[in-house]
Structure 1
Amino acid sequence: MKTGRDHQRGRLYTWEQQAVAPHDGTVIMRDQAQGMVDAIWADIGLRYPPKIAALPAQAKTLIGRADRLTIELAPRVPSWCLLHELAHSITSTVEGESDGHGAQFLAAYVFLLARYLRLDQHKLRASAGRAGLAVGSEFCVSQPDSGL
């Protein structure tokens, strides 16, 4: 993972506004987000989900940001934004290492968009490629123990 310059950030935000936002008009209230994060985290077989917190008051233009342990949100966010921040948590480490908006992040984000917003994964990957974005290979998560 890298911690340097985030080369895909601007292109990803543009792509997101064109390819993702128009297909999802739902809004999540911050006080409801923890339950959703917990459910998604468990559904994909992970333990110890990040905690939801309020963005600092001085963060006037942000609607969300995340690391492995915390997802900070505005009072109301589009559901795709919550998935965007969740993808950051999934692809970050406790030590603060992150893929930024790189290929690993985008693979996780596309996976979440397809699974929870039912957007077409192949169309998302194709449109991301046309936008000049590198998308990692298929994102895989471990499955919960079957109890066997």
Structure 2
Amino acid sequence: MTSARDRRLYAWENRVVAPLDRSEVPFERMQAIVDHVWAAEGLKWPPRVRARKASRATLATGSRLAIEAPASLPSWVLLHEIAHALTSTAEGAGDGHGPDFVGTYVRLLVRHCRMDRAMLEETLAADGIRWNPEARPAFVDGA
């Protein structure tokens, strides 16, 4: 079931993020990108990318251990799933689309898609989406 918080985030992504990043990542390149983002966060042992058939309900999924994706994804969707991986634990606990997830996602968009942080902050506030600018990976001691 999709919550109101999820719907607000997805609407924001479609209105703000998607038009700014039209790049597509083929499945064969996804693991390299996940590995790069993980290393840029100062982390070891990134999640594995696994094949997934696209469905109408869910394009891709991300958790601490795996990102499941179809034959290609927009790069911002891959970053969305990496943000899920960063904000969940191997046991499955996570922030969903909460403030820590959004804070992590914004950091990834700024760092890897070169999006303007101030613009992202402004549009998130305008859409009533809470976020934590200090969010860190859920599974790192002291985070």
**TM-score, normalization: structure 2?**
0.89
Q: In structure 2, what residue type is equivalent to 1:60?
A: S
Structure 1 residue matching 2:17: 3-state secondary structure: helix
Query: Could you give the per-residue CA deviations for residues 2-31 of structure 1, whole angstroms, max 9, x where no partner exists?
Result: xxx855211000000011000011000111
Q: Residue 77 of structure 2 aligns with which residue?
A: 81
Q: In structure 1, what residue type is equivalent to 2:68?
A: E
Tell me, which stretches of 5 or more residues in structure 2 are unaligned?
Answer: 138-143
Q: Residue 145 of structure 1 aligns with which residue?
A: none
CA distance in 2: counterparts of 1:135 and 1:6, whole angstroms? 16
CA distance in 2: counterparts of 1:12 and 1:68, whole angstroms? 21
Q: Residue 60 of structure 2 aligns with which residue?
A: 64
Q: Residue 94 of structure 1 aligns with which residue?
A: 90
Asked which structure has the greater RCO (Cα within 8 Å, sep 6+), the reply is: 1
Identity %: 39
Alignment of 1:112-131 (within 5 A): 112-131=108-127
CA distance in 1: counterparts of 2:99 and 2:17, whole angstroms? 17
Q: Of residues 83, 100, 104 in structure 1, which corresponds to 2:100?
A: 104
Alignment RMSD = 1.5
Structure 2 residue matching 1:52: 3-state secondary structure: strand
Q: What is the aligned residue count?
A: 135
